[in-house]
Chains A and B, each alone.
Chain A
Amino acid sequence: MVSAEHDALPQRVKETVMKYLLLIYGNEAAMLATTEANKGQTLSAYVAYTEAMQKAGAYVGGNRLRPSTSSTTVKVTNGKTEVLNGPYAETKEQLGGYYMIDVPDLDAALAWAARCPGATYGTIEVRPIWEM
């Protein structure tokens, strides 16, 4: 039993006006090397997380990305197309997936970011969408 000790109730008024992208960064190599049991558990946690977002009406979309080694970058300089293997930047943590959410404000977006299973082993970047 998990009791409700010390937790304050969310006091937000729901009026969905802002979209945010939650970018999930993590150490790809470590994640691929983990045990099958751990992978299964992480997957289960993501399924529950996604469902909770959907129930809350916050979920707009989201996907898991294939490893950054499968990435290809394209750039056109002076009319010349350049195609390169690999991700845009080599970093310690790689972009592994994203969610787009629709929530009232940044505080609500940060609350969802903190609940993301990826926040435990990596970093979640929260970026507001520039509405056109």
Chain B
Amino acid sequence: MHVTDANDAAATAEAVARRSYGRLVAFLAARTGDVAGAEDALSDAFAAALAEWPRQGPPANPEAWLLTVARRKGIDAGRRRRTVWDAAGHVQLLTEELASEGSDATAIPDDRLALLFVCAHPAIDRAVRAPLMLQAVLGFDAASIASAFLMSPAAMRQRLVRAKQKIRQARIPFRVPDRAELTERLGTVLEAVYAAFAEGWADPNGTEVRRRNLAAEAIWLARLLAALLPEEPEVLGLLALLLYSEARRRARRDAQGDYVPLTRQDVAAWNGAMIAEAESLLRRAGAMARPARFQIEAAVQSAHVARRLTGQIDWPAIVLLYDALAAITESPVVAINRAVALAETDGPATALAALDSRAGDGRLAEYQPYWAARADLLARAGQNSAAWAAFQQAIGLETDPAVRRFLLQQRDALEPVRCG
């Protein structure tokens, strides 16, 4: 219990450090156009904060603390490059401003939203948007981000450096898009936050600290967005979706560490407070009457967790929701999930026919969930030898040992068959 409390305190201190760091990077970068310069100016101070705050607790005014240390340590280092020098100049100015206003941290304007829009700008390579957010807004180092996204640290570092160069050289503006383009531009921001969460979600036991952090930080980014853009239903939808998923994190493994599919999870192991928050967010979003992708995906989750009250999963509702999703996205992932739901309402044969219509999509050949879904549907349709082969493919493509064990058991439970 004490260990957990200490961990919680350390996590809180770390969260405060990241929050303050992000505010300062955003403030500096918005004024210099230079994300790398802002990071350089603050890096020593942030490293000191991550080392000291978890032990001593965060200071009363975290931003002022960071600025003071940044000024003390950073200005000498800042002489290397003129742009850094600019950032260091801003650090100095900011410290003086803060000192004159006492300990009021709200004196620093919050430019993090603008920074998020810069990170997810259409001119930035899609694959680097989420990593860039994690680094610029939350201060994660390239090596941690690389591990989470399964890339080499050297390659990730290079991509991040290039992206920041592009921001500076192409002068990507630090601003929140106008009403007219907000919806479209917001989509890329939300997608990047979701991508960060998805990487964190891949660690079910929460044993891998870096990945668990990633899911938590993605939720934190979504909360930040929801606080800054409370009238955007998709932002609320995304936050609801992340909370529904996070609420089920522990239930994905049983006491033996074995994989438990969503439909068989123990509802008592779900986090009721998180689900309640998600439900309320989804209701708020629904009242705005502008449904879109993340709200619909959150609604699917809502239909799943309703089982905790009704004891039943509302499969017809889930099929309808996936129909709505399929109408707005070409994603084969949606098609797979729709087929899985269709099996419950119309039987495995209908579901297989729906899945077969996607079989020509080359991207699915190495897509593990496609093979896992296919194997299960084939098994339920009694096509055991085809099911065996699909299970084999799903097992070979799986990275999680618990899911691999589960699939091996499913495969071996088929009537005795053996395929090439």
Q: Is B393 interfacial (CB-CB < 8 Å)?
A: yes
Given A106-B155, A110-B150, CB of A55 within 8 Å of CB of B406: no
CB closest residue in chain A, given B371? A52
Given A48-B392, A52-B393, CB of A4 within 8 Å of CB of B151: no
**Cross-chain contact B152 with A56 (CB below 8 angstroms):** no
CB closest residue in chain B, given A111? B150
22 contacts between A and B (CB under 8 A): A1-B340, A1-B373, A2-B261, A2-B369, A2-B407, A4-B340, A4-B373, A6-B201, A6-B202, A7-B198, A9-B332, A9-B333, A9-B367, A10-B367, A52-B397, A55-B393, A55-B396, A106-B152, A107-B150, A107-B151, A115-B398, A119-B399
Given A7-B198, A10-B366, A106-B152: 17 more A-B contacts, CB < 8 Å: A4-B333, A4-B340, A5-B245, A5-B337, A6-B198, A7-B368, A9-B331, A9-B363, A10-B363, A11-B363, A44-B408, A48-B396, A48-B408, A52-B397, A55-B396, A110-B151, A115-B397
Q: Is B165 interfacial (CB-CB < 8 Å)?
A: no
| Residues on A with beta carbons closer than 8 Å to the beta carbon of B395 | 44-45, 48-49, 52
Give the interface SS of chain A, mostly helix, strand, loop or mixed.
Answer: helix
| Residues on A with beta carbons closer than 8 Å to the beta carbon of B398 | 115
8 A Cβ contacts from B143-157 to A: 150-152, 155
8 A Cβ contacts from B218-267 to A: 245, 259, 261-263
Q: Interface on B for A, CB 8 Å cutoff?
A: 127, 150-152, 155, 194-195, 197-198, 201-202, 245, 259, 261-263, 331-333, 336-337, 340, 362-370, 372-373, 376, 392-399, 401, 403-408
| Residues on A with beta carbons closer than 8 Å to the beta carbon of B399 | 114-115, 119
**Cross-chain contact A1 with B393 (CB below 8 angstroms):** no
| Residues on A with beta carbons closer than 8 Å to the beta carbon of B259 | 2
Q: State A44–B398 Cα separation when bound (angstroms).
A: 13
Partner of A41, one of B197, B376, B408: B408
**Cross-chain contact B201 with A3 (CB below 8 angstroms):** no
CB closest residue in chain B, given A2? B372
| Residues on B with beta carbons closer than 8 Å to the beta carbon of A50 | 396
Q: Is A117 interfacial (CB-CB < 8 Å)?
A: yes
Q: Smallest distance from the beta carbon of A127 to chain B beta carbons, Å?
A: 12
Q: Smallest distance from the beta carbon of A13 to chain B beta carbons, Å?
A: 10
**Cross-chain contact B333 with A1 (CB below 8 angstroms):** no
Q: Smallest distance from the beta carbon of B112 to chain A beta carbons, Å?
A: 25
Give the interface SS of chain B, mostly helix, strand, loop or mixed.
Answer: helix
**Cross-chain contact B245 with A6 (CB below 8 angstroms):** yes
| Residues on B with beta carbons closer than 8 Å to the beta carbon of A111 | 150
CB closest residue in chain B, given A120? B401
Q: Smallest distance from the beta carbon of A7 to chain B beta carbons, Å?
A: 5
**Cross-chain contact B150 with A114 (CB below 8 angstroms):** yes
Q: Smallest distance from the beta carbon of B248 to chain A beta carbons, Å?
A: 10
Q: State A42–B8 Cα separation when bound (angstroms).
A: 37
Q: Is A8 interfacial (CB-CB < 8 Å)?
A: yes
Q: State A51–B388 Cα separation when bound (angstroms).
A: 13
Partner of A8, one of B195, B366, B394: B195
Q: Is A53 interfacial (CB-CB < 8 Å)?
A: yes
Q: State A41–B347 Cα separation when bound (angstroms).
A: 31
Q: State A41–B364 Cα separation when bound (angstroms).
A: 26
**Cross-chain contact B197 with A6 (CB below 8 angstroms):** yes
**Cross-chain contact B155 with A45 (CB below 8 angstroms):** no
**Cross-chain contact B396 with A53 (CB below 8 angstroms):** yes
Q: State A48–B401 Cα separation when bound (angstroms).
A: 13
| Residues on A with beta carbons closer than 8 Å to the beta carbon of B194 | 6
**Cross-chain contact A56 with B366 (CB below 8 angstroms):** yes
Q: Smallest distance from the beta carbon of B169 to chain A beta carbons, Å?
A: 26
8 A Cβ contacts from A45-92 to B: 45, 47-53, 55-56
Q: State A47–B408 Cα separation when bound (angstroms).
A: 11
| Residues on A with beta carbons closer than 8 Å to the beta carbon of B201 | 5-6
- Which 4 pairs from chain A and chain B are nearest by CB? A52-B396, A4-B369, A48-B395, A48-B396
| Residues on B with beta carbons closer than 8 Å to the beta carbon of A14 | 362
**Cross-chain contact B261 with A1 (CB below 8 angstroms):** yes
| Residues on A with beta carbons closer than 8 Å to the beta carbon of B403 | 2
Q: State A52–B408 Cα separation when bound (angstroms).
A: 14
**Cross-chain contact B336 with A4 (CB below 8 angstroms):** yes
| Residues on A with beta carbons closer than 8 Å to the beta carbon of B245 | 5-6
For A1-35 the 0/1 string (1 means CB < 8 A from B) is: 11111111111001000000000000000000000
Q: Smallest distance from the beta carbon of B145 to chain A beta carbons, Å?
A: 14
**Cross-chain contact B393 with A117 (CB below 8 angstroms):** no
Q: State A56–B370 Cα separation when bound (angstroms).
A: 14
Q: Smallest distance from the beta carbon of A124 to chain B beta carbons, Å?
A: 11
Q: Smallest distance from the beta carbon of B261 to chain A beta carbons, Å?
A: 5
Q: State A124–B169 Cα separation when bound (angstroms).
A: 39
**Cross-chain contact B394 with A2 (CB below 8 angstroms):** yes
